[in-house]
Amino acid sequence: MSVINYASREITFKIVYYGTGLGGKTTNLKVIYNKINPEQKGKMISLATEMDRTLFFDFLPMDIGSVKGFKTRFQLYTVPGQIYYNASRKLILKGVDGIVFVADSQIERFEDNIESVDNLMENLEEHNLNIEEIPTVMQYNKRDLPNISPITELEDAINPWGIPYTEAVAIQAIGVFETLKSVSKMVLQSL
Ligand X SMILES: Nc1nc2c(ncn2[C@@H]2O[C@H](COP(=O)(O)OP(=O)(O)OP(=O)(O)O)[C@@H](O)[C@H]2O)c(=O)[nH]1
Instruction: Give the footprint of ligand X on this chain (CB under 6 A).
Output: 19, 21-27, 53-54, 78, 80-82, 141-142, 144-145, 169-171
Please tell me whether residue 95 binds other proteins under the rule CB under 8 A: yes
CB 141 within 8 A of CB 170: yes
Alpha carbon of residue 114 to chain centroid: 16
Q: How far is the CB of 104 from Mg ion (least distance, A)?
A: 12
CB of 120 to other proteins, least distance (A): 15
Exposed/middle/buried for 36, CB within 10 Å: 0-12, 13-18, 19+?
Answer: middle
Measured CA distances, 163 to 43, 75, 111, 155 (Å): 31, 22, 19, 9
Gap between the Cα atoms of 37 and 35, Å rounded: 7
Among 54, 123, 166, 179, binds Mg ion (CB under 5 A): 54
The one of ligand X, other proteins, Mg ion, none whose footprint includes residue 189, by CB under 5 to 8 A per kind, is: other proteins
Phi-psi region of 165 (alpha: psi -120 to 50; beta: other; left: phi over 0): beta
Nearer to other proteins, 147 or 172 (CB): 172
Choice between 53 and 127, CB closer to other proteins: 127
Residues 122-151 as x/- pattern, contact with other proteins by CB under 8 A: -----xxx---x------------------
Beta carbon nearer to ligand X, 36 or 174: 174
- Closest approach of Cβ 128 to other proteins, in Å? 4
Q: Which is nearer to ligand X, 12 or 23 (CB)?
A: 23
Q: Which of 158, 169, 165, 15 is nearest to 78 (CA)?
A: 15
For residues 22, 85, 96 and 131, what is the CA-based torsion angle, rounded to 10 degrees?
A: 80
By CB under 8 A, tell whether 82 contacts other proteins. no
